[in-house]
Structure 1
């Protein structure tokens, strides 16, 4: 009988191999984000006869470890992508606009989820992932609100699906809407979910679009800390009221790590080589986490239980795309 550490090895090795494959495919086909591929490979592993039994059995301990702990590690390292100087360079009007888009998208997506009769915790996770930064934000909010890892699987699948949809659809609208590269970049940064999906979407319009998109997106990423802190404060005020019960922390340590790493990046002390190495490490950690989460999704169950969730996600995607486009026109004049 293997010990708890040894039991995680098979799943972790499989997740690492899947990330290597995802990164290789991304290099060959840059329009396909590695993180999206990692989720897709996890879905395949969970639903192909032969592999599905392994992911539910011998590989499960390591895959669950990746989905929880490597997700948190990836969120911490994500802070090294955020330069406060670049964000402040947008100007206060743009910062207010982006903040407004995030808050409106969060509230609107939560409302849409409840309108489609999704459970409150699912609506909360979908709203967080869609409005801030995809699967990373879902993992952070789940930790703050003490939501089970199993309950993050559907929101992660939805945010991956809709982010992938954006990669294919948004570039087709550049000409019909008469968008300049800068406006399109701002739109992608303000409305596409995951950082990798933003890059894949914006790069179709050139370097100037990509530059704007990344800064706008990372401004949304910064809001991960205050929004999860607010959620943690609310949860703390309503949980642990019973005698002897330990109240959850307002902000988990890994979110504080994210803030600390963002502050470190903003000092300018880190060399480009160190930042590049950190970016690779983050891709590996998040990719393994997303493979682990994807490997828990059974397509049959998803189709049976996720129809309302899919419709809610598509409605939310349209809402965020509209909000982001309006903000992009106001930011880039």
Structure 2
């Protein structure tokens, strides 16, 4: 068969990636094509596509800032301050309880809780040195979070339509309930342009709380290590500032924003192509069960509060 030739397999993968980068591909189609390619044909470039998806998603998030007004970012931060503090603290607390129920070691449970509460892999990466987590603890936490991110990408847009959420409601729900910033952006891009802009702004505002919460964790762990805000968040804020303060170049910013959306769609193909059963098996059932229950509770409670109008922006 042709696919038994490594060169042809890789060439086909790259051709599909180029299609995902083109204007003909949508966010949802790129994700499902990536999943199908991985599960049926296999990913011939797993390491390259994994690294590329992370960098491309970060670039896409930065580029999306060229369609955001910095004053909106500040307004979201002010209006969601109390909600952010209460929700992050409650999720971390619940996660710590569940990690004891499932008898996880302290570091793994903390990393999963922190990643669920704030922004997935970025939060885990920032928290790991603070609590002196081992490499295997980091790997397990990241694999669990990544698996749930992939599931969230698939089911959140469908659930949003099922519950007739408006784009603003979906933006709020996805930003509060989906782990990674990149996955929030991806899911929101499937739901609609308003959801995309709002969800990106809300999630990145929330992600800035990595530093104060990691600092508090450092006190409990008696650690001298310090966390820092991921650079792509700073890039997003800088892009929003440029878009706001240099309106005469709006045509340029529009091109950059359009390019960012294309890069985002291509990234979704790479994310889909990275999903495998091996990823789930690596994590083991206890961390996955703990993270899944925590995520289910968080997602369900947030959805109910949004539907009842108790959480709005």
Q: Please confirm whether the aligned pair reaches a TM-score higher than 0.5, indicating the same fold.
A: yes
Corresponding residue to 1:92 among 59, 70, 78? 78
User: By how many angstroms is 1:159 displaced?
Assistant: 1.0
Q: 1 CA distance for matches of 2:179 and 2:298?
A: 9
> Where does 1:61-140 land on structure 2 (aligned, <5 Å)?
85-90=71-76, 92-140=78-126
Change in Cα spacing, 1:23 to 1:220, as seen in structure 2 (3 Å) is farther
Structure 1 residues 258-297: Cα deviation after superposition (integer angstroms, max 9, x where no partner):
6765664464378736788899999999x99x99xx89x9
TM-score by length of 2: 0.66
User: By how many angstroms is 1:192 displaced?
Assistant: 0.9
Structure 1 stretch displaced more, 262-271 or 116-125? 262-271
Structure 1 residues 167-221: Cα deviation after superposition (integer angstroms, max 9, x where no partner):
2323333355342232122111211112232233223432223332222222221
Aligned to 1:207: 193
TM-score by length of 1: 0.63
Change in Cα spacing, 1:275 to 1:312, as seen in structure 2 (3 Å) is same
Q: 2 CA distance for matches of 1:231 and 1:32?
A: 40
Change in Cα spacing, 1:312 to 1:111, as seen in structure 2 (3 Å) is same
Change in Cα spacing, 1:161 to 1:219, as seen in structure 2 (3 Å) is same
Aligned to 1:145: 131
Q: Secondary structure at the match of 2:76?
A: coil
Q: 1 CA distance for matches of 2:132 and 2:201?
A: 31
Aligned to 2:28: 31
Q: Secondary structure at the match of 1:117?
A: coil
Q: 2 CA distance for matches of 1:91 and 1:304?
A: 37
User: By how many angstroms is 1:80 displaced?
Assistant: 8.1
Structure 1 residues 14-68: Cα deviation after superposition (integer angstroms, max 9, x where no partner):
xxxx99976865764622787xx69x97xx99xx9xx9xxx9xxx9xx99xx79x
What is the total number of aligned residue pairs between the two structures? 284
Q: 2 CA distance for matches of 1:102 and 1:305?
A: 24
Q: 2 CA distance for matches of 1:105 and 1:99?
A: 10
Aligned to 1:309: 287
Whether the 8 Å contact between 1:76 and 1:257 is mirrored in structure 2 is: no
Whether the 8 Å contact between 1:26 and 1:32 is mirrored in structure 2 is: no
Q: 2 CA distance for matches of 1:204 and 1:77?
A: 15
Q: Secondary structure at the match of 1:90?
A: helix
- Structure 1 unaligned blocks of 5 or more: 1-17, 240-246
- Structure 2 unaligned blocks of 5 or more: 1-12, 247-251
Change in Cα spacing, 1:304 to 1:227, as seen in structure 2 (3 Å) is closer
Q: Over aligned residues, Cα RMSD in angstroms?
A: 4.7
Aligned to 1:12: none
Corresponding residue to 2:297 among 319, 325, 328? 319
Structure 1 stretch displaced more, 74-83 or 132-141? 74-83
